[in-house]
Structure 1
Amino acid sequence: MIHDAAALTPLADSPIPLRGRPPARDDRALVELMHAAGMTPLAVASTAAWLDGEKRASPSTRASYVTDLGWWLHYLHARGLDPADVHPLEADRYAAALRAAGLADSTRARRLAAVSSWYRYLVRAGAAQRNPLLDMERPAVEDVSKTRSLSKDELDRMLAHSRQYETARTYALLCLLVVTACRVGGVVAVGVDALGYDKGNRVIDLPVKGRGGTKTKRFIIPPYASVALDAYLVERGAKPGPLFSTSTGRPIDQPYVYRLVRRIAKAAGVPQWESLSPHSVRHSIATYLLEQHPLHVVQDLLGHADPRTTRRYDRARGLLDRSPAYALGAAFAQGEAQHLKVGVDG
């Protein structure tokens, strides 16, 4: 029985800011937080090794882990706690404080997962006593992406508008986004020398997420998009450099592609155009392909390591008319009919 009334005080009551400008945005700021918290050189070295791990090889992923860990260290320092020996109760207080701060379930789940991963490594390296987040109750995250998607008809209208009213560069860029379902980061980073042929197929080697940005993936460019690309290349010329560049020769950037997608969608009469992004195209192509191809085929195209990530793109997977029960019923109905026929003939 609990006798101390203070023990029933809501754990979320925390004056510590847990949203807004991150306490750490780079390695240097993170190290400063660790020093302020009194962490040992072994803990700092272990953190550096953890950040160099395979799951954090991408610069953007590594930066996300640094930011999430920075929030935790900021919280502990404000409470005067030693990061190397935190009681699970304090981890639960932190989780409750994140919820009280109004953060989205996905954001809270990501922050907690990052901290738990860090502690697993520190315990393994002998730099922490325990993982205080072990077996913690964490936010349930929806397994369907909330990115605004497009129907095939809407994509068709955007492509038709681009072909008729936009520049050859814009039409070729949109075609490439559609036929490769690539991330916008790959399109803005690719050079003209990435184009080529492989066993008679027109291909392009695009930078993809992972391995510090040095990894590339070969994509097929089907004839439909190849025609658009060739028309643009005639206009662009054979000079080296970025495949899609500005009039001054500088590569286009991601904000430009964001604005471009929305402008074309608006001109093509696509509803809610203001909520679209280049990633909407990737989502839409994934959904479209999953209606026609096995999961593993679409997973390979998108470059997902985990098939569960690909499944999040399948907007139509909950539709009842796609249930395999129909195919199952038809198969057994056919088998039953064959046996009934044999019985009658006999």
Structure 2
Amino acid sequence: MAVGVEVVASAASASVELRGAPPARTPHELASLLRVAGMPEAGLRATAMWLVSGRRESPHTRIAYVRDVSWWVSWCAARGCVPATATTAAADLYIAALKESGLARASIGRRIAAVSSWYTYLVREQCAAINPFEGAERPRLDTQASRTRGLSRDQVTAILRHAADHESARTYALLWLMFATAGRISSILDARIEQLSQDRGHQVLDLAIKGGQVKRFAIPPAALAAVQRYLEEREHPRDGLLFVSRTGRRLGQSYAWKLVNRVARAAGVTHAISPHSFRHSAITIALGDGRPLHVVQDFAGHADPRTTRRYDRARDSLDRSPAYELAAMVTPEQDQEHPQRH
């Protein structure tokens, strides 16, 4: 029995790197990888159709699925396993390899979900006999807290103050929108000038969110002023991308990562952060300030309130306990007049 366990563990060990740069970043690269892994042409055509259907209409969502599927295909290719005929045993070994690689449970769950969705489509199109990931055990997610390195209220203020005094108008506007909308960086970098408008007295910005949908965000005066100042420097363009480089190109996410860390360090933040830290901090601060969960959930665009709850750092605070208000509702008058009487 022990020997059998060792064999399985050895087979699960990843000779293929399962972290870092993904094997494929585009549909074309994924197609090339599938050919190397022995996928028939019918499977390639079905994969192309899968990538543009369902929830993958958004270009960014599509690329995310490409990356997640490419890890599995690369793993198969290294072992001479044809994805179209992969077995449940192969899927289980792959999941074991993902766990051994040290990936976060959320990342493992996302990769499994992406590959399972792909196989469901392949089976429907008769390009695979089974979905080897159907019913596979996925790692339990930590629903208690988000692992993103966040920022305190004072740190966000310090970063914005530093940006206002020492950075470009573009940087200041970008940081403000990242926090004020709690938007994902990909959505903000895709934002267009013509999506700025008014709605019932509110200044708003329409941003593309997950699933190819569009969500309307209120833009507070300070954030709007920062955006207007930036657009004034660009001589009031009427349309096109909101944030562009000096040559007019879309800013990349790698640029945003370097930018937020540089500005944060200059403002006194000692730990590394990411663009997502601003989204994380906005949600956390809103919850800590006592905003109702359903309001913050809608603000964050979470489909499941349990996701929003992960950001609630003060969930166990006794100061927020409803016990006091509940007791006040039912305490007899004489006990209210003499609270210390026993």
Q: Hey, what does 1:282 align to over in structure 2?
A: 279
Q: 1:102 and 1:266, CA in 2 relative to 1: closer, same or farther beyond 3 A? A: closer
| C-alpha distance in structure 2 between counterparts of 1:47 and 1:84, whole Å | 11
Asked whether the equivalents of residues 151 and 278 of structure 2 are also in contact (C-alpha less than 8 Å), the reply is yes
| C-alpha distance in structure 2 between counterparts of 1:43 and 1:253, whole Å | 32
Instruction: Say if 2:6 is the partner of 1:9.
Output: yes
Give the SS at the match of 2:83.
coil
Percent identical across equivalent pairs?
A: 45
**AA paired with 1:145?**
S
For residues 269-314 of structure 1, what are the alpha-carbon distances to aligned partners after superposition, in whole Å with 9 as ceiling and x for unaligned? 2232xx1122211110011112332233223222333434333333
Q: Hey, what does 1:226 align to over in structure 2?
A: 224
Q: How does 1:113-192 map to 2 (within 5 A)?
A: 113-143=113-143, 144-192=145-193
Q: Hey, what does 1:302 align to over in structure 2?
A: 300
For residues 196-247 of structure 1, what are the alpha-carbon distances to aligned partners after superposition, in whole Å with 9 as ceiling and x for unaligned? 2223222223343432xxx543222222333333444444422345434445
Give the SS at the match of 1:315.
coil
| C-alpha distance in structure 2 between counterparts of 1:295 and 1:166, whole Å | 35
Q: Hey, what does 1:344 align to over in structure 2?
A: none
Asked whether the equivalents of residues 243 and 251 of structure 2 are also in contact (C-alpha less than 8 Å), the reply is yes
Instruction: Say if 2:330 is the partner of 1:335.
Output: yes
Instruction: Say if 2:256 is the partner of 1:261.
Output: no
| TM score, norm. by length of structure 1 | 0.80
Asked whether the equivalents of residues 12 and 99 of structure 1 are also in contact (C-alpha less than 8 Å), the reply is no
Give the SS at the match of 1:210.
helix
Asked whether the equivalents of residues 16 and 78 of structure 2 are also in contact (C-alpha less than 8 Å), the reply is no
CA offset at residue 8 of structure 1? 4.0
| C-alpha distance in structure 1 between counterparts of 2:54 and 2:103, whole Å | 28
Q: 1:305 and 1:57, CA in 2 relative to 1: closer, same or farther beyond 3 A? A: farther
Q: Hey, what does 2:203 align to over in structure 1?
A: 202
Instruction: Say if 2:92 is the partner of 1:95.
Output: no
Give the SS at the match of 1:136.
coil
| C-alpha distance in structure 2 between counterparts of 1:123 and 1:316, whole Å | 46
Asked whether the equivalents of residues 12 and 94 of structure 1 are also in contact (C-alpha less than 8 Å), the reply is no
Q: 1:12 and 1:22, CA in 2 relative to 1: closer, same or farther beyond 3 A? A: farther
For residues 124-179 of structure 1, what are the alpha-carbon distances to aligned partners after superposition, in whole Å with 9 as ceiling and x for unaligned? 33333333223322222323322210111111222223333444443333222222
Asked whether the equivalents of residues 231 and 237 of structure 2 are also in contact (C-alpha less than 8 Å), the reply is no
Give the SS at the match of 1:50.
helix
Q: 1:67 and 1:230, CA in 2 relative to 1: closer, same or farther beyond 3 A? A: closer
For residues 83-141 of structure 1, what are the alpha-carbon distances to aligned partners after superposition, in whole Å with 9 as ceiling and x for unaligned? 34443223222222333344443333332222222233333333333332233222223
| C-alpha distance in structure 1 between counterparts of 2:39 and 2:149, whole Å | 43
CA offset at residue 329 of structure 1? 5.2
| C-alpha distance in structure 1 between counterparts of 2:68 and 2:171, whole Å | 37
**AA paired with 2:308?**
T
Q: 1:301 and 1:82, CA in 2 relative to 1: closer, same or farther beyond 3 A? A: same
| C-alpha distance in structure 1 between counterparts of 2:223 and 2:283, whole Å | 18
Give the SS at the match of 1:197.
strand
Give the SS at the match of 1:11.
helix
**AA paired with 2:261?**
R
Asked whether the equivalents of residues 18 and 98 of structure 1 are also in contact (C-alpha less than 8 Å), the reply is no
CA RMSD of aligned residues (A): 3.2
| C-alpha distance in structure 1 between counterparts of 2:132 and 2:122, whole Å | 12
| C-alpha distance in structure 2 between counterparts of 1:21 and 1:243, whole Å | 28
Q: Give 5+ residue unaligned stretches, structure 2.
A: 337-342
| C-alpha distance in structure 1 between counterparts of 2:4 and 2:227, whole Å | 67
Asked whether the equivalents of residues 176 and 225 of structure 1 are also in contact (C-alpha less than 8 Å), the reply is yes
Asked whether the equivalents of residues 61 and 210 of structure 2 are also in contact (C-alpha less than 8 Å), the reply is no
CA offset at residue 338 of structure 1? 4.9
| C-alpha distance in structure 2 between counterparts of 1:322 and 1:116, whole Å | 44
For residues 13-54 of structure 1, what are the alpha-carbon distances to aligned partners after superposition, in whole Å with 9 as ceiling and x for unaligned? 136414355443333343344445444454334333332332
| TM score, norm. by length of structure 2 | 0.81
Q: Hey, what does 1:47 align to over in structure 2?
A: 47
Q: 1:133 and 1:248, CA in 2 relative to 1: closer, same or farther beyond 3 A? A: closer
